[in-house]
Amino acid sequence: MTEAVAVLGAGSWGTALAIQLARGGLQVKLWGHEPDHIERLIQQRENTDYLPGFRLADNIEPLASLADAVRQVPWLLIAIPSKGFRGLLQQLKPLLERDTVLFWASKGFEIESGELLHEVFEQELPGHRYGVISGPTFATEVARGMPAAIACAGSDAEATETFAEMLHGDRLRVYTTDDIVGVELGGALKNVLAIAVGASDGLGFGANTRAALMTRGLSEIMQLGTRLGARRETLMGLAGLGDIILTCTDDQSRNRRFGLAIGQGKSVSQAEIDVGQTVEGLRATRAIYEKTRKLDLDLPIIEAVYQVLYQSKDPRQAVRDLESRPQGRE
Active site residues: 190
Tell me if 102 sits within 8 A of 127, measured CB to CB: no
Tell me if 160 sits within 8 A of 178, measured CB to CB: yes
Distance of CA 300 to the CA centre of its chain: 23
Q: Measured between alpha carbons, how far is 256 from 261 in angstroms, rounded to an integer?
A: 9
State the DSSP string of 91-135.
Answer: HHGGG--TT-EEEE---SB-TTT--BHHHHHHHHSTTS-EEEEES
Distances (CA, A) of 141 to 16, 35, 244, 255: 9, 27, 17, 17
Beta bridge partners of 47: 51
- What is the H or E stretch that residue 14 is in? helix 12-23
Tell me if 216 sits within 8 A of 104, measured CB to CB: no
Q: Measured between alpha carbons, how far is 103 from 77 in angstroms, rounded to an integer?
A: 5
